Amino acid sequence: MPVTIYVTDATYAHHDHERSALAGHEYTLTVRQCRSAADVISQCADAHVLLNQYAPLTREVFAALPQLKMVVRYGVGFDSVDVTAASEHGVMVVNIPDYGVQEVADHTLTLMLGIVRKVPQIDASVRSGVWNDNLFHPIMGLHHKQVGLLGFGNIAREVAKRAQAFNMQVHAYDPFVPAEQFARHQVTATSWESIFTQSDLICIHLPLNHETKHFINAERLAMMKPTSYIINTARGGIVNSVALADALRAGQIAGAALDVLDQEPMPVDHPLRGIDNCIITCHVAWYSEDSLVRLQYYAGLEIARWCAGGLPKSIVNRAALLANGSISV
């Protein structure tokens, strides 16, 4: 029997890469553009697999789709999926953590250099007809400055390499990473408190969950040096935007550079809009033409592994499914 696959929603020009990965398997792939849980229920009712970008996959969705076995999320994050409900219904939730590692690391360094060197402000000044570097003093040098990484997964490790190439000292906080990984990458393991109090630059590489939501808050921003910067290419909800805006306006920290926000797209009344010492890009860190191909192809490969009788490589809720007997090793 063919595997019934629905793309719940996506912004891609085509889905040839997924089909290429699924070559040799019997399946149907139908593209929808669902905007709500009700749309998913009405338009994808007979799905075995959902390929998901933004459409909300709620408890109601899992209850209403009895044949559903797997959700593959286009990307690293899985905020759109009720993972607990999926686990209770025996549905694998799969993400694609390795498609854009280099791109996000590159963008992190781009934001770091841009905010420290005040590139957007200088560019705007020059274009307005003003040629005066004195307007942008002081600018901090990066040589031997301390970079603190919150999280030390694949992206953070690539950021560490890039920072070390600039002769910066790299420290990281991640209680889930063994000591040998820090040693292998010549990075000093430290506490999150030390990250905030000692770092000249803090880069966020945490997942968003109930423990990390608003991890960057007024209290922790107050711990930072007034000359320090914060860079976020992880998830917008990790940062309390109101607290960050207040800290930037008060000169409590020197600047921030963000690729992600707690509200996307950025609303006109967002607290960070109009703050000069804050660079904001539009959740684009993941993107290159190469990474887009990898994302779609890797998503198809995860389904192909299951079609072949195996398990996907990156099951977010693996432990829960093993515990309730929905999958076996």
Q: What is the pLDDT of residues 186-199, one digit of tens each?
A: 999 999 999 999 99
- Catalogue the E-assigned strands of 193-254: 201-204, 229-232
How many other β-carbons are positioned within 10 Å of the β-carbon of residue 16? 13
Per cent of the chain over pLDDT 70 is 100
pLDDT tens digits, 34-50: 999 999 999 999 999 99
Please name the fold of domain 101-280.
Answer: Rossmann fold (3.40.50)
**Token output for 111:** 């934001």
Contact between 9 and 31 under an 8 Å Cβ cutoff? The reply is: no
Whether 3-99+289-324 and 101-280 share one fold: the answer is yes
Q: Is 264 a catalytic residue?
A: yes
Contact between 116 and 201 under an 8 Å Cβ cutoff? The reply is: yes
From the number of C-beta atoms within 10 Å of its C-beta (0-12, 13-18, 19+), residue 66 rates as exposed
Residue-level pLDDT at 62: 98
Q: To 5 degrees, how large is the angle CA 167–CA 168–CA 170?
A: 130
Q: Supply the pTM of this predicted model.
A: 0.90
Residue type (1 letter), 225:
K
From the candidate CATH numbers 3.40.718.10, 3.30.2320.80, 3.40.50.720, 2.40.50.100, the one assigned to the domain spanning 3-99+289-324: 3.40.50.720
Q: Indicate the pLDDT class of residue 1, thresholds 50, 70 and 90.
A: confident
Residue-level pLDDT at 308: 97
Q: Give the DSSP H/E element, type plus range, for residue 305.
A: helix 289-307
pLDDT tens digits, 201-260: 999 999 888 999 999 999 999 999 999 999 999 999 999 999 999 999 999 999 999 999
Domains of the chain, residue spans = 3-99+289-324, 101-280
As a whole number of angstroms, the distance between CA 110 and CA 94 comes to 29
Q: Indicate the pLDDT class of residue 162, thresholds 50, 70 and 90.
A: very high
Residue-level pLDDT at 192: 98
Residue-level pLDDT at 296: 98
Residue-level pLDDT at 119: 98
Find, among 264, 281, 312, 313, the residue nearest to 70 by Cα: 312
**Token output for 193:** 């408190």
Residue-level pLDDT at 79: 86
Select which of 162, 235, 270, 294 is catalytic.
235
Residue type (1 letter), 259:
D
Residue-level pLDDT at 329: 76
